[in-house]
């Protein structure tokens, strides 16, 4: 995602590191939101051993969706070089949020393995996510974080703290592998990986290759109770709070009395109702 300032500034160093490892590459620069989807979807990937997302979680989301517009037998392994504002997915690869050098080292080893991907279908759209998809409080925090992007990786944390002050719940009707759950909820997230917004360990039990998605629900609670819960999320200890419900499932169907915004991988796309499915081993990932 060389159109972003930090990515552009680092690109000469990343390119030099790739060359030092003997990796030949072609760099495609994005010019606007959604551009990476089209670039990857339209690329002739037959002679390439991999496609690398150099950016944050938003860039990764676009690259994944571009790959799913390619025929299944033409999807080379996916690589991640974290240089974006939010680098939550990189944490699941045991990369520090901005450790692009370690990302290049993973590429140089050339080892890939299958990982799961989430597929989302709404009334008029279909897309995929590799990290998480959230709604309710998660969307509110993400929208605030966008306005605070100049804070870098801290933006999502600050956005979350701001939304604590404006706390409200949403009506939810969800079916999780056939089990129906209704009622007011503050937060819902479906996770393929463990981290959200770089620092929040929302789904500590999630695994990238288990054929399941992890669902986290937060029932209504007071601001003071949420402020007690909030610090525990950094270590994944929020699961002990009675207001937190977790499930593991391959099929999640979300309905709501009103169309609610969805936030896949830190982006904003689609509204409820939505059907979410886990696609086991749908992509290969350098890791």
Asked if residue 43 has pLDDT above 50, the reply is yes
Rounded mean pLDDT of 108-115?
Answer: 97
Least confident span in 2-11, 89-98, 112-121:
2-11
Q: For position 174, what pLDDT does the model report?
A: 97
The residue with greater pLDDT, 145 or 65, is 65
Least confident span in 72-86, 104-118, 140-154:
140-154
* β-pairing verdict for 187-191 and 213-218: antiparallel
Domain residue limits, the chain: 5-110, 129-281
Decide yes or no: CATH 2.60.200.40 for domain 129-281. Answer: yes
Q: For position 198, what pLDDT does the model report?
A: 83
Tens-digit pLDDT profile for residues 191-250: 999 999 888 999 999 999 999 999 999 999 998 998 899 899 999 999 999 999 999 999
Mean per-residue pLDDT of the chain: 91
Are residues 197 and 156 in contact, defined by beta-carbon separation less than 8 angstroms? Answer: yes
Question: pLDDT tier at 2 (50, 70, 90 boundaries)?
Answer: very low
Rounded mean pLDDT of 95-109?
Answer: 93
Asked if residue 3 has pLDDT above 50, the reply is no
Asked if residue 153 has pLDDT above 70, the reply is no
Q: Which of 267, 286, 284, 287 is nearest to 120 (CA)?
A: 267
The half-sphere exposure of 124 on its side-chain side, counting CA atoms within 13 A, is 4
CATH of 5-110, one of 3.40.50.10330, 3.40.1170.10, 3.30.70.60, 3.90.1570.10: 3.40.50.10330
């Amino acid at each position: 995602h060389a159109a972003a300032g930090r990515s552009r500034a680092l690109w000469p160093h990343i390119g030099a590191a790739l060359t030092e490892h003997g990796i030949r590459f072609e760099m495609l620069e994005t010019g606007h939101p959604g551009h990476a989807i089209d670039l990857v979807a339209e690329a002739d990937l037959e002679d390439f051993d991999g496609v690398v997302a150099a950016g944050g979680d938003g860039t990764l989301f676009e690259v994944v969706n571009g790959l799913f517009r390619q025929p299944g037998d033409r999807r080379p392994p996916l690589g991640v070089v974290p240089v974006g504002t939010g680098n939550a997915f990189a944490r699941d690869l045991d990369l520090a949020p901005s450790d692009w050098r370690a990302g290049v080292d993973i590429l140089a080893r050339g080892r890939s393995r299958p990982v799961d991907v989430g597929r989302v279908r709404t009334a008029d759209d279909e897309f995929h996510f590799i990290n998480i998809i959230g709604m309710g409080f998660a969307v509110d925090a993400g929208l605030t974080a966008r306005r605070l992007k100049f804070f870098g990786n801290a933006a999502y944390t600050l956005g979350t703290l701001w939304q604590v002050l404006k706390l409200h719940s949403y009506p939810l009707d969800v079916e999780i592998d056939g089990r129906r759950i209704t009622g007011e909820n503050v937060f819902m997230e479906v996770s393929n990986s463990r981290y959200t917004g770089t620092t929040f360990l929302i789904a500590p039990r999630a695994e990238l290759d288990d054929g399941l998605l992890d669902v986290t629900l937060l029932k209504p609670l007071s601001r003071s109770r949420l402020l007690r819960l909030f610090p525990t999320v950094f270590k994944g200890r929020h699961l002990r709070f009675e207001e937190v419900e977790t499930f593991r499932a391959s099929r999640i169907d979300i309905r709501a009395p009103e169309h609610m915004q969805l936030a896949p991988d830190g982006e904003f796309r689609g509204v409820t109702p939505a059907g979410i499915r886990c696609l086991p081993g749908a992509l290969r990932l350098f890791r």
